């Protein structure tokens, strides 16, 4: 199985790439390296003893994404690409919405055009906002995020839920976690 990992050179993405390679999957990485370094992927390959395919592409580059899908028989996508600093998002909200939300929309567009409908999305516990009670559970209400980063993650979750409701071919999983 060939898995596309967006943001695969980042911390969580690179660890996921290693696990996927060790499980025998072909791994294709798309990362613009704005929050990561290509060195992490070289280390992943050395640890796994296997190569992966790496493309320095921004996920907002629809033509580049489509090229990657055409060159590989992608079965599923694990989507980690995104800006992730809460404080910075307050200072640069347009950059966060453009990169995170617009980028995800481009990714979904490329996936649909290439008939790939399996997606794991790296969301965040920031979608819960200021929780009414602790501990937070998966059933806790979302919304009321306190920063553009959290709001962008919540918007993407809603987009993915709507895409899945509109087309039964889509299968999306949302991962919500705190900073590693």
Active site residues: 149
Report the distance separating Cα 118 and Cα 134, nearest Å: 32
Contact, 114 vs 72, CB < 8 A?
no
User: Could you identify the residue written with the tokens 């705190």?
Assistant: 178
Instruction: Report the Cα–Cα distance between both ends of the chain, in Å, rounded.
Output: 27
DSSP letter for 53, please. Answer: E
Looking up tokens 């009321």 gives: 144
């Amino acid at each position: 199985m060939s898995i596309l990992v967006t943001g695969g050179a980042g911390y969580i993405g690179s660890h996921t790439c290693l696990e996927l390679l060790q499980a025998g999957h072909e791994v294709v990485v798309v990362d613009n390296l704005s929050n990561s370094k290509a060195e992490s992927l070289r280390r992943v390959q050395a640890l796994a003893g296997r190569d992966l395919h790496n493309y320095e592409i921004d996920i907002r580059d629809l033509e580049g994404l489509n090229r990657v899908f055409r060159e590989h028989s992608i079965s599923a996508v694990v989507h980690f690409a995104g800006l992730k600093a809460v404080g910075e998002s307050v200072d640069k909200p347009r950059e966060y919405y453009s990169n995170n939300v617009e980028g995800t929309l481009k990714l979904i567009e490329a996936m649909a055009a290439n008939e790939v409908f399996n997606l794991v999305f790296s969301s965040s516990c920031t979608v819960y906002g200021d929780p009414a009670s602790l501990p937070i559970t998966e059933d806790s209400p979302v919304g009321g995020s306190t920063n553009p980063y959290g709001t962008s993650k919540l918007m993407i979750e809603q987009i993915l839920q709507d895409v899945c409701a509109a087309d039964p071919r889509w299968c999306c999983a949302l991962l919500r976690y705190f900073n590693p």
